[in-house]
Amino acid sequence: MRVNTISTCTGFVIMEKILFVIPPYVSFDSFVNPAFNDGTTTKKSGKYRNIVADFPMGVLSLSAYLKKNANVEVKLIDFNIVLNKLESFEYKSFSELFNDILSSKKYVEFVPTIIGISTLFTPAYYNMLDIAKVCKKLFSNSLIVAGGGVPTNMYREIFKVSKSFDALCFGEGEKPMLDLIQTKNKYLHINNNPSWITYKKIRTKKSFRHNFIIDLDEIPFFDLDIIKIDDYRLTSVLSTFPLAKERMKGMSFMTSRGCVHRCCFCASHSVHGRQMRFHSIVRIENDLRKLKRDYGIKLVVFFDDHFMANRERVFKIVNIMKNLQLTAFFPASLTLYALDRKMLEALKSIGLNELVLSVESGSDKVLREVMHKPLNLSIVKRVIKDCQELGIDTDVAILIGLPGETKKDIEDTRSFLKTLNATWFRINIATPLAGSEMLEICLRKNYLKGDYISCDFKRPVIGTEDFTPEYIQEKAYALNLELNFVENSDFKLGNYKKALRGFENTIRVKNDHAFAYYFAARCCKSLKQNKKYMEYKNNYKKIIKDSEFWRNYFRQFNLEPLRYDLTYLN
Ligand code: SF4
């Protein structure tokens, strides 16, 4: 039996030593060979794909809950942070990296009794398997478990190819992990408890059950002692939003779990369920005070699946934030139907100047019949108009390439989006997440044309009677160029300063983006920023000269060459 009691010199008894591990969110191949539409970062050894790494809220909550209710010592290793911090990347595989880091003195001397691998999204699937394999070799006496969206939905696939896991957690992990820690015979427990999935149980066709905490206040404030907050500052999701107040000290936060809606592309319910559960207003106020007082936070980044579930509650939270002089950002979007004028004015009153809007489609038919999304286009028009009047920038998220969508639907979307004066558009490619209705449809109708496990909103794998994956890839990129650059609403309206901000942000994450240089140069020309104009113009000319890819797009959109006009600039 494994060691689960350790006496220390103080006489204090530590029941468990838990090592949480977060796998890289991208595959090794896409990290070392970024695609044309990936953001990149340069290290001494070359160019790599950018990894967006946010505060691992699930693990931070889990750790806080376990520390409150049991004797545990916790360490966390987030390989996304490890990769982002490496000055040079010399490994031939991620497995080599995992082995190198996990075999270091820090972890070997820790002697974890439980290793918990947290895997939320499918692109981390193979990394999760490799980490478990390395852990099995290095820590043969540890119990190896995994939790999150991937183990909850892909347990059959995992146990088919891996012998490294002792058990996988079904849904949220707080209660199942606590029960596991508090039990004497862990093997007996994982084999009897319906929130734990084992190989044996799958073979005997046992069913699994969520074990949710209904009153979220039972979970203490995040255990921030297991991370370095600054590690997440520059890599957070804010860095991918051109409009966000990236430089402001922000922190991820959740006030609820669950979502009542049934969007076909979403898998959130498989982990958090469809019933809403909340933190109390008193608790939220205390946490926000703490964030401000103890961590100097000014910007709260809300990741609730359905923040707008209760309007009155939202107004109360906004009021608290106003009193504490905190501002907010909602990267996961807010339900558009709840964003009436009164709500938008309340959000504006706490300094919210930009909103991500998950519009997803510009076709009422697709929203209703394909996505099952609680939205129609008249609401979209009204919200964007209100935002424009209130001085709130809008970042509109769109998804194309879903089963059931047609080329005509995508053209309808394009036409509709061109009528919106949104600040920025984010054109994503439909990704069949494990646990989503969309994946079920794709499997049933044989629509998967590639490995859906590695796809990540940028690489299409769905092909139907109506379109091929290649068509969707091309269409998504062309839409991005058309809506954000050629038809950029701020550029067309003469708001060159604001338009320039978006173009320069694109240059920051993708420094070979010819359209970004071209339109940034045109903004600088109008703003009479001579030096920058020349710099951007020269960059654009160099890229165009060297790249057939960009020359094609310049031809496609019929863009005029830039001419240096000194009289105009003087
Ligand atoms: S996409 Fe958002 S609104 Fe739709 S089901 Fe998922 S969490 Fe709910």
SS (H, E, C) 203-240: HCCCCCCCCCCCCHHHCCCCCHHHCCHHHHCCCCHHHH
Closest Cα to residue 264, out of 416, 407, 430? Answer: 430
Task: Give the integer Cα–Cα distance in Å for 550 and 552.
Answer: 5
Q: Considering only CA atoms, which residue is closest to atom 3 of ligand 1?
A: 261
Backbone angles phi, psi at 12, to 5 degrees: -70, 135
Q: 433 alpha carbon to ligand 1 midpoint, in Å? A: 13
Q: Considering only CA atoms, which residue is closest to atom 4 of ligand 1?
A: 263
Whether residue 198 is found in the same domain as residue 346: no
Q: 352 alpha carbon to ligand 1 midpoint, in Å? A: 22
Residues contacting residue 112 through CB under 8 Å, at least 6 positions apart: 17, 18, 19, 75, 139, 142
Whether residue 306 is found in the same domain as residue 413: yes
Whether residue 403 is found in the same domain as residue 544: no
Q: Tokens 């108009």 correspond to what residue?
A: 385
Q: 474 alpha carbon to ligand 1 midpoint, in Å? A: 27
Q: Tokens 């920023």 correspond to what residue?
A: 529
Into how many domains does the chain fold? 3
Strand order in the sheet with 424-429: 354-360, 393-400, 424-429
Note whether residue 319 is domain-resident: yes
Note whether residue 438 is domain-resident: yes
Q: Which atom of ligand 1 is nearest to the CA of 265?
A: 1
Q: 259 alpha carbon to ligand 1 midpoint, in Å? A: 6
List 251's β-bridge partners, or say none. 300
What was the pLDDT predicted at 246?
Answer: 56
Domain termination residue (choose one: 486, 512, 541): 486
Task: Give the integer Cα–Cα distance in Å for 227 and 204.
Answer: 40
Whether residue 437 is found in the same domain as residue 480: yes
3-state secondary structure at position 431: coil
Q: 565 alpha carbon to ligand 1 midpoint, in Å? A: 50
- Which DSSP symbol is given to 371? I
Q: What is the pTM of this model?
A: 0.90
Whether residue 106 is found in the same domain as residue 196: yes
Q: 306 alpha carbon to ligand 1 midpoint, in Å? A: 7
What was the pLDDT predicted at 12?
Answer: 45
Residues contacting residue 43 through CB under 8 Å, at least 6 positions apart: 86, 87, 88, 89
Per-residue pLDDT of the chain (570 residues; tens, 9 = 90+): 333 444 444 444 557 999 999 999 999 999 999 987 787 889 999 999 988 888 999 999 999 999 999 999 999 999 999 999 999 999 999 999 999 999 999 999 999 999 999 998 888 999 999 999 999 999 999 999 999 999 999 999 999 999 999 999 999 999 999 999 999 899 999 999 999 999 999 999 889 999 999 999 999 999 999 999 888 876 667 767 755 555 678 899 999 999 999 999 999 999 999 999 999 999 999 999 999 999 999 999 999 999 999 999 999 999 999 999 999 999 888 999 999 999 999 999 999 999 999 999 999 999 999 999 989 999 999 999 999 999 999 999 999 999 999 999 999 999 999 999 999 999 999 999 999 999 999 999 999 998 888 777 788 999 999 999 999 999 999 999 999 999 999 999 999 999 999 999 899 888 899 999 999 999 999 999 999 999 999 999 999 999 999 999 999 999 987 765 444 443
Whether residue 462 is found in the same domain as residue 518: no
CATH of the domain at 411: 3.20.20.70
- Which DSSP symbol is given to 4? -
Range of the domain at 293: 236-486
Note whether residue 216 is domain-resident: no
pLDDT digits (tens, 9 = 90+) for 111-164: 999 999 999 888 899 999 999 999 999 999 999 999 999 999 999 999 999 999
Note whether residue 215 is domain-resident: no
Whether residue 435 is found in the same domain as residue 540: no
Q: Tokens 């099995």 correspond to what residue?
A: 136
| Ligand 1 proximity of 261 Cβ (cutoff 6 Å) | yes
CB 172 within 8 A of CB 272: yes
Note whether residue 226 is domain-resident: no
Residues contacting residue 308 through CB under 8 Å, at least 6 positions apart: 314, 334, 335, 338, 339, 343
pLDDT digits (tens, 9 = 90+) for 255-265: 999 999 999 99
Domain termination residue (choose one: 486, 505, 534): 486
3-state secondary structure at position 500: helix
Whether residue 392 is found in the same domain as residue 498: no
Q: Side chain identity at 267, as an amino acid letter?
A: A
pLDDT digits (tens, 9 = 90+) for 100-112: 999 999 999 999 9
Whether residue 108 is found in the same domain as residue 153: yes
Domain termination residue (choose one: 441, 469, 486): 486
530-540 burial, b for 16+ CB within 10 Å, e for fewer?
A: eebbeebbebb
Task: Give the integer Cα–Cα distance in Å for 74 and 76.
Answer: 7
Distance of CA 171 to the CA centre of its chain: 18
Backbone angles phi, psi at 78, to 5 degrees: -110, 105
Q: 190 alpha carbon to ligand 1 midpoint, in Å? A: 31
Task: Give the integer Cα–Cα distance in Å for 108 and 138.
Answer: 8
CB 292 within 8 A of CB 322: no
Whether residue 506 is found in the same domain as residue 437: no
| Ligand 1 proximity of 306 Cβ (cutoff 6 Å) | yes
| Ligand 1 proximity of 274 Cβ (cutoff 6 Å) | no
Burial status of residue 207 (CB atoms within 10 A of its CB: 0-12, 13-18, 19 or more): exposed
Task: Give the integer Cα–Cα distance in Å for 24 and 19.
Answer: 16
Whether residue 197 is found in the same domain as residue 323: no
Whether residue 336 is found in the same domain as residue 431: yes
Task: Give the integer Cα–Cα distance in Å for 285 and 287.
Answer: 5
| Percentage with pLDDT > 70 across the chain | 94
What was the pLDDT predicted at 242?
Answer: 58
Q: 373 alpha carbon to ligand 1 midpoint, in Å? A: 8
DSSP state letters, 154-193: HHHHHHHH----SEEE-S--HHHHHHHHH-S-HHHHHHH-
Q: Considering only CA atoms, which residue is closest to atom 2 of ligand 1?
A: 305
Task: Give the integer Cα–Cα distance in Å for 135 and 40.
Answer: 30
What was the pLDDT predicted at 243?
Answer: 56
Of the residues 121, 268, 335, which should be mutated to test ligand 1's pocket, given the most ligand atoms within 8 Å of the CB?
A: 268
H or E element that contains 393 = strand 393-400
| Ligand 1 proximity of 266 Cβ (cutoff 6 Å) | yes
Note whether residue 342 is domain-resident: yes
Note whether residue 231 is domain-resident: no
Task: Give the integer Cα–Cα distance in Å for 140 and 142.
Answer: 6
H or E element that contains 359 = strand 354-360
Note whether residue 219 is domain-resident: no
3-state secondary structure at position 406: coil
